Amino acid sequence: MANTDAQWNRWAQETLGYTFKNLSLLRLALTHTSFANETHAAAHGDNERLELLGDAVLGLIVTEHLYNRLEEAPEGHLARLRSAVVCEPSLACVARRLGLGQVLFLGKGEAKSGGRHRSSTLCDAFEAVVGALYLDGGLDVARKFVLSSVAKEINRVIAGDTLVDPKTQLQELVQEKEKETPMYRLVRAEGPDHNKTFTVEVYWQDLVRGTGSGRSKKAAEQAAAKEALDRITVINA
């Protein structure tokens, strides 16, 4: 994305549903430490402080929502549900749906090593964006964004499915963005019957997107999906 105010405003409105009054907050939220260090932009900073703030705001919003929605749930159950929503795999999945990886400011080395698709980086960026929205628009703006963004994750954990596994993440992402369903094929089964290793490829649009191995076909499929998520470059918000 070219770095003009008009384009950033358009992206924020289309992706986040909000127009920033202070666009520097949005840019800061999307600035990884590697970019700040590599460009010697110490005065500009990175998104770590906003990530800390956003984590607290996110926890408050999700906890409040669960508290009001599940009136009879005890404290321990609410805490477990919150933890299942506000965790790296869950938030990285949300960040991928939003396409945050494609607009991050990364250092050259970090970008080359796959930083745009790394779950920890995407999770941090999502939390930083929440922090930026909170500072720019207040709690109501942050709440509206968070609850719309993580609605799928909240509904999933309330229904009892707390594991956001790589295969599910990949299927939801590809179906939403590419209107296709990832397909899996067994390419190898090695070893004796009691100790086989299976190797599986995942593909769509006739291209292999990931390969994984495991002691079962299911484990191999999960490994292939994880590799595809780590390598994914064709899906944008």
Per the CB < 8 A criterion, the answer to whether 167 and 193 are in contact is: no
**Chain center to CA of 135:** 21
Is 124 in the active site? no
Strand partners of residue 214? 198
Q: How far is CA 58 from CA 105, 130, 141, 142, 197, in A?
A: 22, 7, 12, 8, 41
Contact of 118 with 230, CB cutoff 8 Å: yes
Neighbours of 197 (CB within 10 A): 14
Of the residues 51, 127, 136, 201, only one is catalytic, namely 127
Q: Rounded distance, CA 56 to CA 46, Å?
A: 18
CA-closest candidate to residue 237, choices 190, 191, 197, 177:
177
Which candidate in 46, 51, 55, 227 is catalytic? 55
Residue 64 Cα to chain centre, angstroms: 22
Neighbouring residues of 226: CB distance < 8 A, sequence distance ≥ 6: 166, 210, 212
Active-site annotation holds for 176 = no
- Cite the active site residues: 55, 127
